[in-house]
Structure 1
Amino acid sequence: MTGENGKPIEIADPFARRLIGKYLSNRKDDIGKLTRALDDADFETIRVTGHNLYGSGAAYGLDQISWLGADFEKAADARNAPEIERLIGELTDFLDKLRVS
């Protein structure tokens, strides 16, 4: 993972590295799920996915994912497609910049 300064965050424990790697892979899958749900105007799937992001990010030390999850929930409740599209881009950018080493 990268910290606020953009440098990789070292995770010494191999088991923890595998866990965080799997978690991040699943979050990348969520991007596809969110995109498809937005295309289908399936705001309930977006809300539930956002709720899951909100509940899981901080457990992995990824507060930004939790914050984005809360924002997805709010945007889905408001049926705010442009905001959801923006949030998908923000989540994508965040995940693309993370490095586990």
Structure 2
Amino acid sequence: MTRGTVYYSYYHIFPGDMADTAVLYRVMNVDMHMPLLPEFMVRKALASHYRDDMAMIESTLAAWDSSPLQERFESKTFYRTLEQAVAAAALVRPTGQLQEDEEGSGDGDDVL
């Protein structure tokens, strides 16, 4: 016999309708209070949840494979856009930080 609560939740990212969108869902939030259930019943209930989760995962993967966003990933345009955004963000610093980094402490151990 077992006593306790099984609680888990996770987030699920699903492809959106357009090539630059994705949708985030909170998929599962299970709170099962099992005061005195036999272990085999607990295992059976959890196996059922996992089986349903796997079916959802398989359908989501199929949707991703055929989504316009996946085509952007495969063509590498998404990654080039991301690299450009990271490079642009690296050039922007809070006021005074760039000057402080350039001056350094003068001991030769400065890391840029």
TM-score bracket for this pair, using the shorter chain length: 0.3 to 0.5
Largest Rg, 1 or 2: 2
TM-score by length of 2: 0.30
Higher relative contact order (CA 8 A, sep 6+): 1
TM-score by length of 1: 0.33
